[in-house]
Structure formats: structure tokens, C-alpha cells
A and B are shown apart, each in its own frame.
Chain A
């Protein structure tokens, strides 16, 4: 999958989250890591790529097709994607099973038995089958994130977008969630992942987009990026993050 961003600009009030970000991945990129310091625009870029946000200027194209900017078109695009955020993804009033089955029924038009079967299948795949009827508050943070991943995967998304999915978790839970993401990456799922887990990104990503201050400072194949980053900022960031891990 080829992702291309042209002159992407997105502001929130007076804050420029993205100011003219530009990048282009290779034609066969599958796991794209968005790296960079906090506040650099990773989350905003991820939301723009997934059509959760529409940029004021610029455009994104996916395999040569430009993503729509109108609400109807953006909603249709969002329905093809799967999202997982930092935390508080799940609907607290619904069980883990209902969290997955409800969008399948009401958004993707599945019948109730089909949606339930698909939800069970995913919960089982993510090792949560014994927690199907628990509410999110009865699950650990890691279980919640795995349930959120299950929900995102249920409609077989073209693209799975993960926004720092482990940054609210302790190391053990981080491990269990990263295991799941690695399996997905190895099974061929298209993924865009914003993260600070550098060593994990090094293992799974095949393309890296490095952002700082709302601009893309480096966009290159993962092997090149991790062995010889061209940009001095990226280099310092990598050194700083790998110091203690």
C-alpha cells in the first residue's frame, strides 16, 4: 500500500498541529511507523490518514486515490478503517462482546448471529474468550486494549491505525499488546502505528515517517532509518530513546 501526503496542514485554534507535512511511502509499504517527539503531529497525521480529521490544506492519497474531504465521503472511508487509541477506546456501558458486535450490526449490516459469531471469533483469537461478557471496567488495561484491537479488526479493515496503543499500559501489558500487533503485522495486515516504542517499531515497521513540529523531517524505509538516519533531529531522537532500552 502506498501512502502519500501532500502539504498537509491542520490547525487547532492557533496551534499548528500539522504545517505542510509531506511524505510518500514506497509502493509496497505495509507497516508504517509514525515516530517523533510528543507534540510533533503524529496523532494528528494518523487521524488525517484515517479520515477522522480533515486537513485544512493539502491531501492524502492511498494507492493513488485521494481521500475525500466532505463528511459523507470521510464517514465511508472511516468505515473501511480500524482505529485503536491510547486508552478509553471501549464503550463502558457495553460488554466486550457488544463493543465488537454492535458496530458490525449497525455499521456493517451484519445479522445479529453473524456479528456475535465474528465477535466471539476475534475475542478468541486475542485470548479474551473468557472475558466476552465483562464490561471494560472489569478488564485490565492490556485486556481493554486487546478488546479494542479486536473491535478494530472485526470488520476486516483495509488499514489498521494505532495511536500510541501501549503508552497508558505497564510493561507487562505493553508486552501482551505488542505481541498482538506483531502477529497482525506478520499476517499481512496494513498498519499505521504512531508510537514511542522504538525497538518494537524497528522489529515490525517497513517504512518510517518521522515528524517534528508538524512537519515530516524524514520519510524512509525502516532499515535505512534505523541504521543511518539522515536527519540530525531523528538521529538525536533515536539515540535518546535507545539509551535505556
Chain B
């Protein structure tokens, strides 16, 4: 039965069904064993609140993703600069952002820095702070990808007469892009989940809405299971999309 071990769509389909059925059965057995009492009717009235939280999470995530890619690129480029103050600033920022908890960055960033600057827009400030935090991780992913482009490629680029900016534009970034994709996707998935922490500065995103819903009904899983599904509804398509991108830019070196 070697075809069952093949990559044909039929084999993949059959195995997917078998695995999903197995995991569902295991989950059902677990819930049955703890005799969990479901209260779905109590949470149903909160459906619009749930959707508004989900949309908030989506909006924050999308904004922070775009911003974090820009931050990541700038921190990576700054960290490779030959100009010492720029390099020190970029590497220092990267280390600080990666080395301190997002919770602390959000609290200080919103209640101290944004307050001092008289900015009273929790959504905007939260999105930017999240973008900075994830951008520092992306900077290191980008740095790894850029540094993995070999010396012979850089020399070839110099030899055909490319200037330094041209070398990055035509040789290094196109090749580094492909290598940075898997790590970047993982980081963006993390970003979506990390957006839940924005509740500490008063943003009612998805997790906060679910907390309110659970508190109002003395429920737990009736909120948290839809919560997990709502996150998967975003993170799975993102992962698949990244895979197709990887395939499109695939080439052997």
C-alpha cells in the first residue's frame, strides 16, 4: 500500500480525515471524562461583541504586520551600517525590544511615553508598539537571511559593476527574501497572537471580549474554543499563503 504513503491529493485527503477524526475523538473523550457542562446558549448573545473583537484583532494585526516589516528592515539595515552611531542605535534597540517583555513595553509606551507626547489613541499606539516589538525579531530574521548570501555572490555583484545599493536591490534582497520567508511567517503568526496583550492598555480586542463574555456567564471553554478557532481562521490561511509564496520563489542555488 505504498500509495497511502505518497503525496497524492487522495492520500493526503484520507490521512487528513483520519487525523482530524482521531484528534476530535480524543478531545471528546477528554471532555466527557471531566464531565464538562456546556452552556452555549449563555454565550450566544455575545456573538456581535465577539465579531467586533475579532475585527479589532485583525485590524491591529494587519497594521502591526506592515509596520513591523518596515521596522525590521530598518533595524537590520541600521545594524549593518558602517556608521557607528546608527549601528549602535539599531543593535541596541533590537536587543532592548527583544530582551524586555511586551507587557512592560506596552505599559511604559502607552501610559508614559504616549501620555508625555499627549497621544490618546490606544489603538494607534498599541499597533505601533506591537510593530516595534515584532519588528525587532524580524530584524534578526532578516539579518540571518542577508548574511547567508555568500561572499561569492557579493563579489560577482561587485564584478558586474553594481554599486552597494544596486547589490542589495538586485542580488542580496531578492535572494534573502526567499530565505527569510519561513521565519517571517512564524513571526507574523506570533504577532497575531501577541496582539491579545493589547488589552492591558484598554483595547477590547478578541481575547478581552472573550474574557468579558466568560465573566458574564460563568463560562470558560464556550468562549475559549471559539477564540482558538477565530485565531486559526487567520493564522492558517497566512501560513498557507506563505507556503505558496515560498514555492513561487523557489530556485536551487
Closest residue of chain A to B160 (Cβ to Cβ) is: A103
Closest residue of chain B to A138 (Cβ to Cβ) is: B252
Bound complex: CA A102 to CA B157 (Å): 11
Q: When A and B form their complex, what is the total count of cross-chain residue pairs whose Cβ atoms lie within 8 Å?
A: 62
Contacts of B226 in A (CB 8 A): none
Contacts of B251 in A (CB 8 A): 92-93, 135, 137
Bound complex: CA A227 to CA B153 (Å): 39
CB atoms of B159 and A83 under 8 A apart: yes
CB atoms of A78 and B161 under 8 A apart: yes
Cβ-neighbour of A102 out of B155, B159, B170, B175 (below 8 A): B170
The verdict on B174 contacting chain A, using a C-beta distance below 8 Å, is yes
Bound complex: CA A87 to CA B150 (Å): 12
CB atoms of A85 and B253 under 8 A apart: no
Contacts of A89 in B (CB 8 A): 152, 156, 159
Bound complex: CA A78 to CA B160 (Å): 7
CB atoms of A90 and B156 under 8 A apart: yes
Bound complex: CA A79 to CA B160 (Å): 7
Give, as a whole number of angstroms, the nearest-CB distance from B243 to chain A.
19
Scan residues 107-157 of chain A and give those whose CB is less than 8 A from a CB of chain B: 107-108, 135, 137, 151-152, 155
Contacts of B162 in A (CB 8 A): 103, 106-107
Contacts of B163 in A (CB 8 A): 75
The verdict on B158 contacting chain A, using a C-beta distance below 8 Å, is yes
CB atoms of A85 and B252 under 8 A apart: no
| Number of B positions contacting A (CB below 8 A) | 22
Bound complex: CA A102 to CA B153 (Å): 15
Given the interface contacts A88-B150, A88-B152, does A107 sit within 8 Å of B166 by beta carbon?
A: yes
Bound complex: CA A78 to CA B162 (Å): 9
Cβ-neighbour of A52 out of B152, B155, B174 (below 8 A): B155
Closest residue of chain B to A95 (Cβ to Cβ) is: B251
Bound complex: CA A155 to CA B158 (Å): 15
Most chain A CB within 10 A, of B158, B160, B171, B174, is at B160
Give, as a whole number of angstroms, the nearest-CB distance from A204 to chain B.
22
Closest residue of chain B to A108 (Cβ to Cβ) is: B161
Bound complex: CA A102 to CA B150 (Å): 20
Bound complex: CA A107 to CA B252 (Å): 26
CB atoms of A92 and B253 under 8 A apart: yes
Most chain B CB within 10 A, of A88, A90, A135, is at A88
Closest residue of chain B to A157 (Cβ to Cβ) is: B161
Cβ-neighbour of B253 out of A52, A106, A137 (below 8 A): A137
Chain B residues in the interface with A (C-beta under 8 A): 150, 152-153, 155-163, 166, 170-171, 174-175, 178, 249, 251-253
Q: Would you give 21 A-B contacts (Cβ < 8 Å), ordered by A? A: A75-B161, A78-B159, A78-B161, A79-B161, A83-B159, A85-B152, A85-B156, A85-B159, A87-B152, A88-B152, A88-B156, A89-B152, A90-B156, A91-B156, A91-B175, A92-B175, A93-B249, A102-B170, A106-B162, A107-B162, A108-B161
